[in-house]
């Protein structure tokens, strides 16, 4: 099998706009005038130095025609984001009602004829022969299952061989996460104080909303083929609010015990306690690879997690998986069923 049609369609359409002088971003999350978040497949911008023209492109690689609700949603999102134009690219075409709605709302529709005119017959032929395989933006899996098996075996033995647990299964899992770019300033120097600003990239998992990794530079994510994908349970806006609330409280409190308490909460959110100001500059969704092993003993179940990029045991993520065990197991079942239907 090759990659998913939707992913390849987005890449080809994005490349078309880039070749025509547009700056583009793919799978971007933007906040509208209403305060709501909108996921846009492709954001394309072009500026002549005086004005900037911004448009969104939604790519639908469905085997069936789109209905008018898809058009209505695209129109609303474009208005809420203050964009100049919206285009819907649909491999399966559209219903008459969708076309009528598009004409009324000023939405441009691209079907196979338009795609062929812009991308060529070869591109259409390539898209038509692509089979299903989910591609997500994330970090690559760098560790083989054989490499983490000793870690799982060791963890299942218990202390000094007591309390041995049965290993029910080991699976590669793609954990939904949010990558935050955060800027913070702090005072440095003994005599002459100067203010320095530092940027960090924090990863917060989207099942429980916990911070578990931080980077000095943006991690190199890319489109990766994935199975056993868990869907987000926590929204990025919830994590953003928690950071803002904790920071606000930390700045307000005056007693040493309260300062220590909220300082600890800040550190747990990946924010240094000596920061003077913080701002969240950028948020995007990514998927992080883990190996998860379900262990059971005396009807008690838990999941241990091994980082798929380093091979190291992650107690934080293991606790998260265990605390949300039913959700994780159900998410894996639904993902497997979805892939079975798509392949069929």
Domain boundary among 133, 157, 183: 133
Is the domain of 101 the same as that of 168?
Answer: no
Is the domain of 88 the same as that of 179?
Answer: no
Looking at residue 192, what is its pLDDT? 65
DSSP reduced 3-state for 52: strand
Domain boundary among 104, 133, 162: 133
Q: What is the mean pLDDT of the chain?
A: 87
Measured between alpha carbons, how far is residue 270 from residues 3, 112, 176, 236, 266 in Å? 35, 47, 18, 15, 6
Give the pLDDT confidence of 165-215 residue by residue, as tens digits: 999 999 999 999 999 999 998 876 666 667 788 999 999 999 999 999 999
Is the domain of 163 the same as that of 189?
Answer: yes
Dist CA 113 CA 123 (whole Å):
12
Is the domain of 64 the same as that of 28?
Answer: yes
Is the domain of 126 the same as that of 149?
Answer: no
Residue 113 maps to a domain: yes
Is the domain of 128 the same as that of 152?
Answer: no
Is the domain of 161 the same as that of 110?
Answer: no
CATH number at residue 112: 3.40.1350.10
Residue 140 maps to a domain: no
Dist CA 18 CA 22 (whole Å):
5
Asked if 226 contacts 136 with a C-beta cutoff of 8 angstroms, the reply is: yes
Looking at residue 275, what is its pLDDT? 86
DSSP reduced 3-state for 88: strand
Torsion of CA 6, 12, 13, 18, to 10 degrees: 140
71-75, 191-195, 240-244: range with lowest mean pLDDT = 191-195
Residue 138 maps to a domain: no
Give the pLDDT confidence of 80-93 residue by residue, as tens digits: 999 999 999 998 88
Dist CA 188 CA 169 (whole Å):
50
> What is the domain count for the chain?
2
- Domain carrying residue 70: 5-133
Residue 94 maps to a domain: yes
Torsion of CA 128, 132, 136, 142, to 10 degrees: -120
Looking at residue 344, what is its pLDDT? 35
Asked if 251 contacts 224 with a C-beta cutoff of 8 angstroms, the reply is: no
Token pair listed for 187: 């005072």
Answer yes or no: is pLDDT of 4 > 70: no
Helix pair 5-19, 121-129: axis angle to 10 deg: 160
Domain boundary among 133, 163, 180: 133
Is the domain of 284 the same as that of 305?
Answer: yes
Is the domain of 180 the same as that of 327?
Answer: yes
Q: Find the mean pLDDT for residues 324-343.
A: 67
Answer yes or no: is pLDDT of 265 > 90: yes
Is the domain of 254 the same as that of 157?
Answer: yes
DSSP reduced 3-state for 217: coil
Confidence category of residue 148, pLDDT binned at 50, 70, 90: very high
Dist CA 203 CA 150 (whole Å):
27
Residue 164 maps to a domain: yes
Residue 139 maps to a domain: no
Dist CA 230 CA 102 (whole Å):
34
Looking at residue 190, what is its pLDDT? 63
Is the domain of 159 the same as that of 304?
Answer: yes
């Amino acid at each position: 099998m090759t990659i998913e049609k939707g992913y390849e369609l987005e890449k080809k359409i994005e490349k078309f706009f880039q070749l025509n002088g547009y700056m583009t971003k793919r799978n971007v999350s933007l906040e509208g005038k209403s305060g709501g978040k909108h996921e846009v497949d492709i954001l394309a911008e072009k500026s002549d130095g005086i004005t900037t023209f911004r448009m969104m492109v939604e790519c639908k690689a469905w085997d069936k025609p789109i209905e008018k609700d898809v058009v209505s949603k695209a129109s609303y999102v474009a208005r809420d984001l203050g964009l100049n134009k919206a285009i819907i690219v649909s491999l399966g075409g559209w219903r008459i009602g969708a076309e009528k709605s598009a004409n009324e709302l000023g939405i441009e529709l691209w079907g196979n004829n338009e795609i062929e005119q812009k991308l060529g017959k070869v591109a259409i032929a390539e898209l038509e022969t692509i089979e299903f395989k989910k591609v997500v933006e994330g970090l690559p899996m760098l560790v083989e299952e054989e490499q983490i098996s000793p870690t799982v075996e060791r963890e299942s033995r218990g202390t000094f061989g007591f309390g041995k647990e049965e290993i029910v299964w080991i699976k590669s899992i793609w954990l939904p996460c949010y990558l935050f770019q955060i800027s913070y300033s702090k005072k440095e120097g003994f005599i002459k104080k100067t203010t320095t600003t530092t940027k960090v990239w924090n990863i917060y998992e989207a099942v429980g909303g916990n911070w578990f990794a931080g980077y000095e530079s943006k991690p190199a994510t890319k489109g990766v083929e994935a199975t056993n994908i868990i869907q987000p349970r926590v929204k990025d806006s919830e994590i953003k609010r928690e950071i803002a609330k904790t920071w606000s409280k930390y700045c307000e409190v005056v007693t040493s015990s309260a300062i220590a308490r909220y300082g600890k909460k800040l550190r747990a959110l990946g924010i240094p306690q000596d920061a003077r100001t913080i701002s969240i500059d950028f948020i995007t969704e990514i998927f992080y690879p883990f190996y998860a092993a379900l262990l059971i003993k005396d009807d008690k179940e838990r999941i241990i997690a091994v980082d798929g990029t380093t091979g190291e045991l992650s107690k934080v993520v293991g606790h998260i998986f265990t605390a949300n065990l039913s959700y994780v197991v159900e998410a894996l079942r639904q993902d497997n069923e979805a892939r079975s239907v798509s392949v069929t």
